[in-house]
Amino acid sequence: MGKLATIVEFDRVGLRYGTGAEVLRDLDFRLAAGGFYFLTGPSGAGKTSLLKLLYLAQRPTRGRIQLFGDELTDAPREALPPYRRRIGIVFQDFRLIRHLSAFDNVALPLRIAGRPETEVESSVREMLAWVGLADRASARPPTLSGGEQQRVAIARAVIARPELLVADEPTGNVDAEMAKRILHLLTALNRLGTTIIVATHDISLITATPGAQMIRLDNGAMIDPTGALKNPPAQMGHADA
């Protein structure tokens, strides 16, 4: 087991929307590169807000955030796209673009990154085959089932081989069998070195993922009785360790 670098570091982070009460309070943790983390907690605990901070859709109102070793709390907005390209996101509501085919939805991150179309073509075909949707490449999202849409969303999130994958309830809209398949996809991706953070209510997912760690949020604060998330990532076990 080699030493693992820190990929995410939160230092007394707080978040409030407008003038409302803080939805996240004093978040203070580090996540190791290559780790597999589940983010759990009751509804309204702040899971989605924490994910937004992780995929740089929101700035903290206090505290410091480091991603990939770089301090990004006050980074200018034009500096953020290159970091976002290193993060894959699976939204709870999929957020597929309705008028684009499954192929074009999956190809979006590569095209945004300016990859040549020949590379896009082969990578997307391979990715669609990996999620079992090779024959649905030209289908538009409204014609796909919930599970198929979810897999397209996952394919889009991982197509650019992100270093960090953030998934919000990725199994929330699928049956148990499909949930197992999705977890298998995420685990395979983690084995390739991607750090995975999955927000979920599904305890069976957590129990089915040996080596994964749990971040528990309650009322905007983190409950980490073991202290493993904070100290020290270098000694943490890898997900498949």
Partner 1 sequence: MQGPTPWVIAIMMFVMVVIAAAGLSLANAAGVVSRGVENRYSVQIANGAAKASAAEAAVRRTPGVAAVRSIPEAEMRKTLERWLGPEGAKADLPLPALIDVDLKPGISPRAVAAKVEAAVPGARFVAHGATLKPILRAIHSLTWVAFAIVLMIALATAAAVVLAARSALAANRPTIELMHGVGATDNQVARLFQRRIAIDSLSGGVAGALAAGVVLLVIAGGRAAWVEDVTGGPLLTFTDLAALALLPLLGTLLATLVARIAVLRALREAL
Contact positions vs partner 1 (CB under 8 A): 55-59, 77-78, 80-82, 84-85, 89, 91, 95, 97, 108-109, 112-113, 156, 160
> In the bound complex, what is the minimum distance in angstroms from residue 117's beta carbon to partner 1?
16
Nearer residue to partner 1 within complex by CB, 59 or 216: 59
Nearer residue to partner 1 within complex by CB, 56 or 212: 56
Q: At what angle do helices 176-191 and 146-158 cross, to 10 degrees?
A: 10
Q: Which two tokens stand for residue 236?
A: 């943490």
Nearer residue to partner 1 within complex by CB, 78 or 177: 78
> In the bound complex, what is the minimum distance in angstroms from residue 235's beta carbon to partner 1?
32
> In the bound complex, what is the minimum distance in angstroms from residue 202's beta carbon to partner 1?
23
> In the bound complex, what is the minimum distance in angstroms from residue 73's beta carbon to partner 1?
12
Nearer residue to partner 1 within complex by CB, 105 or 190: 105
The CA distances from residue 184 to 130, 178, 179, 190, in Å, are: 11, 10, 9, 10
Nearer residue to partner 1 within complex by CB, 142 or 225: 142
> In the bound complex, what is the minimum distance in angstroms from residue 77's beta carbon to partner 1?
6
- For the chain, the distance separating the N- and C-terminal CA atoms, rounded to the nearest angstrom, is 8
Q: Which two tokens stand for residue 174?
A: 């699928």
Q: Residue with structure tokens 């955030």?
A: 65
Tell me the C-alpha distance between 81 and 160, whole Å. Answer: 14
Residues in the chain: 241
Q: What angle do CA 98, 166, 229 make, to 5 degrees?
A: 165
- CB distance 214 to 206 below 8 Å: yes
- CB distance 124 to 107 below 8 Å: yes
User: In sequence order, which residues have a C-beta less than 8 Å from that of residue 19 and are 6 or more positions away?
Assistant: none
> In the bound complex, what is the minimum distance in angstroms from residue 171's beta carbon to partner 1?
20
> In the bound complex, what is the minimum distance in angstroms from residue 132's beta carbon to partner 1?
22
Nearer residue to partner 1 within complex by CB, 46 or 109: 109
Tell me the C-alpha distance between 97 and 170, whole Å. Answer: 17
Nearer residue to partner 1 within complex by CB, 100 or 214: 100
Helix (H) or strand (E) holding 19: none
